[in-house]
Amino acid sequence: MFSLSIILPDSPAWVLQSSVPQPPLEGLRWLEQHPSQDGGEVIECAVLGLHGAGIREWLEGLQAVLAAVSRTPFAVLERRIEPADEPLYASLYEGWLESDPLNQRPARGGYSLRLYLRRAADWRKPAAALPLTNANGVQRETGLAVYNHHDGDPAHQNFADIRAADLSGGQPAPLSLRLRLLEPMGETLRQVILAAGSRLTWGGEAFLHSLEGESAAAGPDCTASNVLNSGAASGGAYRRVQWTRSDSASLLRWTLSAERLGFCAGRLFRPVLRLFSPPPEGVYLRWRLLDGNANPLEESPDVAVQTQRSLQVTGGLHLPPGWLPQITPAALTLELRAESRDTSLKTLEVDFVHLLPTEGWLELHALNGASASEVWVDGERQIAYSRSSAGETAFTHALTGSPLHLLPGSDYRLYLLWETESGAPLTSRCEVQAFYAPRVKLP
């Protein structure tokens, strides 16, 4: 190994190992490595040999660096195997020093310590912008526009495609993003849903993830069902349903074609609804898959509606259920059901349903008073933050879900939906920029 350094934001690198050790560091010898149970982290131990003048000052400097590591999520180890090689990085979470009583040489001006570093198990190459493509741009690295819905207008796409040819490395690597709200002006990103799935395009065809509310058939438990036209709705219309049952009520049904299900390939998808108006309180939604004879095949968990949200994230379903024997599945019916605790008249206005893959699923929830119109999503560290013009970092959102990891050799489609202070406006646009740091495993 040529060099190993600790890198902190806005600080000079602290060199731990180099081809020519700098006094008072006489040498560094690695002893052992302990991986975590999940394999995502390792704790490494090395013996530091110190000799000559300046030992105390050097140790105070190292202890200050290690203390700073525990106070920032941006600390990394930088490793260069050869001087001309590009650097490799590993996230550094913690570091500490312990005495090494068997190797003290005070009479000769020498001293040794054990250095422990807790870091990410995989090393990664420098991050680079990842090209994104949709109807609004091809292979864009500087930013691609996406809309907050997907309907018949060719430009209204809430997704971006990533080519397998642009993913290098030999290990799955996290995706990082920059999200900038373009419209509405003066508002911020309050809630964001990010979903990623592979193999959703094939031979010029693609998975149709959007279901319009007006295209659904009313369920048998509805007391009324109407299609209402509106320029503020996806496709120019939405469906209003009403019901009174307190137990499980069938509200809406969509037909999922064999072609659509073929893209899904038995994987788990989570439907997200956009509601045109606030939903009633105390209502729980679930999904049911029905065969051609209306027999139930699979049912999702109940999820309570959030009355302050336009976008409702619901429970997932396997499309189609994995136990079905058909190689090419037959068409199935997707049924939306609702439960409540009373028999009062309830109204639900459904604009659209998006069937989103769950290979990667991340939700951003704005912290109180901390949302921003431009948000950086760090996939490596699982944090979301904004940057001021002065370079200051402010953490803006809490993250829930699983990281968006991309596997080299696969095409991906990235989906986005979001809410601002005015709900989930149909005309809202966001600029997306993607970053990817290939991962490598080293002994």
On the CB side of 215, CA atoms within 13 Å amount to 16
Indicate the class that CATH gives domain 210-352: mainly beta
Position 368 scores a pLDDT of 83
What is the CA 68 to chain-centroid distance, rounded? 27
What is the CA 10 to chain-centroid distance, rounded? 27
Residue spans of the domains in the chain: they are: 3-121, 128-203+360-440, 210-352
Indicate the SS3 state at residue 342.
Answer: coil
**Which residues are bridge partners to 386 per DSSP?**
394
* Structure tokens given for 38: 């999940």
Whether 3-121 shares its CATH topology with 210-352 is answered: no
- In eight-state DSSP terms, residue 277 is S
Q: Which residues contact 325 (CB under 8 A, 6 or more apart)?
A: none
Q: Measured between alpha carbons, how far is 308 from 305 in angstroms, rounded to an integer?
A: 9
Position 332 scores a pLDDT of 95
Q: Which residues of the chain have pLDDT under 50?
A: 107
Position 69 scores a pLDDT of 96
Q: Which residues contact 427 (CB under 8 A, 6 or more apart)?
A: 147, 148, 183, 184
**Which residues are bridge partners to 259 per DSSP?**
none
Span 3-121 CATH architecture: Beta Barrel (2.40)
Phi, psi (rounded to 5 degrees) for 327? -70, -45
Position 275 scores a pLDDT of 98
Position 1 scores a pLDDT of 59
* Structure tokens given for 89: 């990085």
Q: Residues 90-125: pLDDT tens digits?
A: 999 999 999 876 565 554 567 888 999 999 999 999
Q: Please state the pTM of the whole predicted model.
A: 0.91
Q: Residues 145-172: pLDDT tens digits?
A: 999 999 989 999 999 999 999 999 888 9
Position 443 scores a pLDDT of 66
Position 325 scores a pLDDT of 57
Q: Measured between alpha carbons, how far is 153 from 132 in angstroms, rounded to an integer?
A: 20
